[in-house]
Amino acid sequence: MKTILVIYHSQQFGNTKILAEEIASGILYAGGAVELINTNERRVAMDDFLKVDAIALGTPDYYSYPAGTIKTFFDDLYLWDKAGKPVKGKPAVLFMSHGGGGRAQQPFENFVERFFQRVGETVTSGRPIGDEAKKRCFELGKELLLKLSAV
Amino acid sequence: MIPSSDPPSAKTEPAWWFIFTAHKLMVVEEGVSISIPLIVDPASLGLLPFRERYLGTLAGRHCYCAEVAENDPFPSKMVLYGLRYLYGRLSKPLYAIAMKAMHLMEWEGTTRYCGRCGKEMATAEDMSARKCSGCGMMAFPRISPAVIVLVERDGQVLLARGQRFTANFYSVLAGFVEPGETLEDTIHREIEEEVGIKVKNVRYFGSQPWPFPDSLMIGFTAEYLSGEIKIDKTEIIEAGWFDPGKLPTVPGKISIARRLIDWFVETRLQEKTQVETYVGRSYDPSE
């Protein structure tokens, strides 16, 4: 059975968390196992990351940039990669919440492209999170799992 | 495992609904994928459960279990399967909750009336128990512990074919814990009763909920101490010592019995390879 790690930063409004849980539910529905880490509560450890088959990654838009703890995750990836760990190439889906412009999407996707194979389109949503964005996240979780199972 | 939390005051969001009928679980089947229905209420499927219970949340969504009557109209999109069939076919976290749900539904069915005064029982407010409407007696979910033991003798494993086994396979020994016993007592008694031998060095291995209908299997390993195999014919058809490389048909992967056997085979075959490699190398003059 495939396991997906959902990594997200959520604090003030809990919006990114809502999206993360929709993705998790889509993964469960499609038959996968899932683990969730809110990087605002704890840092992703190397083993959390290495043992899973794919990841889902989500962030709010802070100053047109991903949240600091998400940047920290990428900084860690850089070091694990340097240390010779197999960090590159996992399939990944992305999601994002924002208060208006959503300009964090570009730097967010740039980071992701260095390490992962993106699956589907990044789901972006303004606040509050609407039903449409929730549904897209659920479907994205399903899509990721189906893609993994097909391999 | 599922975190407990208070039930929501109203059902407004889609939730995971574990709906049972005739000891089987209702699932959605789409191609090769099988899942639990995500619905606001069973009424949306035209179902009217006669029993319902809140379970907690999974990744932010509420989970409920329910039971509907066998002859109620059946939703066309749904399929019924036994939990054993669903093992490995359903997402692991959902499967774990399905085991819990099955156990609770079966238990509620056996606590409709008070065992002390005979009045009707209802689910207690905090949902941890059933409470009698007459005398107030509380009944908590019944969990029946059973031990399951892998016995080893000189690199061989003890396997037996039980009278009550549904199929023709061999497994490790198991038995229910009786009142007044420690788990160790049960192990020594069961092994002696069933195959007439004594064991030593009992070690805990792991455990597994087994809601068919209400067990908890507690796994151990032990070493042979003394005696020769003499089977109790009412429980066992055949028993013997087997090499890890030459096993008969063993139970399916759902059971802790299989986990014990797989562990044994894996570790013993590994050790064997290591010993052989070492012996081989020690005769190599170039080293």
Say whether pLDDT at B47 is over 80: yes
| Residues from chain A contacting residue B61 (CB–CB below 8 Å) | 21, 25
Average pLDDT over residues B7-34: 91
Which of A6, A10, A22, A28 is best to mutate for the B interface (most B CBs within 10 A)? A28
Q: What class is the B144-278 domain?
A: alpha beta
* Chain mean position to CA A92: 7
SS3 B118: coil
A28/B59 CB distance under 8 A: yes
Which of B30, B91, B92, B97 is best to mutate for the A interface (most A CBs within 10 A)? B91
Per-residue pLDDT 10s for chain A (151 aa) are 899 999 999 997 899 999 999 999 999 999 999 999 999 999 999 999 999 999 999 999 999 999 999 999 999 999 999 999 999 999 999 999 998 888 999 999 999 999 999 999 999 999 899 999 999 999 999 999 999 988 6
Q: What pLDDT does B128 receive?
A: 83
CA gap B24, B102 in Å, rounded: 9
CA gap A93, A57 in Å, rounded: 6
B282 pLDDT band, cuts 50/70/90, is very low
- Number of neighbours of residue A146 by Cβ within 10 angstroms: 17
> Which CATH code of 3.20.20.80, 3.40.50.300, 3.40.50.360, 3.50.50.60 fits the domain covering A3-150?
3.40.50.360
CA distance A63 to chain B (A): 28
Q: What pLDDT does B287 receive?
A: 37
pTM higher than 0.95, yes or no? no
The CA–CA distances, whole Å, from B102 to A8, B10, B50, B66 equal 33, 24, 15, 9
**Pick from A66, A44, A60: nearest CA to A11:** A60
* Chain mean position to CA B111: 21
Looking at the structure, give the CATH architecture of the domain made up of residues B15-109.
Alpha-Beta Complex (3.90)
| Residues from chain B contacting residue A32 (CB–CB below 8 Å) | 91
* Better pLDDT: A52 or B88: A52
CA distance B128 to chain A (A): 26
Q: What pLDDT does A81 receive?
A: 96
A28/B94 CB distance under 8 A: yes
SS3 A64: coil
Which of B1, B33, B254 is best to mutate for the A interface (most A CBs within 10 A)? B33
The reply to whether B15-109 and B144-278 are identical in fold is yes
Average pLDDT over residues B106-122: 94
| Residues from chain A contacting residue B34 (CB–CB below 8 Å) | 31
CA distance B162 to chain A (A): 31
B60/A28 CB distance under 8 A: no
The residues facing B281 across adjacent strands are none
Both tokens of B79, joined, read 């399929």
Interface pTM, i.e. ipTM: 0.86
| Strands B121-123 and B156-162, sheet pairing | unpaired
**Pick from B139, B69, B85, B63: nearest CA to B107:** B139
- Least confident range from B142-146, B197-201, B279-283: namely B279-283
Read off the amino acid at residue B206. Answer: G
Q: What is the pLDDT of residues B118-161, one digit of tens each?
A: 999 999 888 789 999 999 999 999 999 999 999 999 999 999 99
CA gap B256, B233 in Å, rounded: 24
Residue with tokens 């209420």: B41
- Helix extents (H) in B201-248: none
Both tokens of A60, joined, read 């709010």
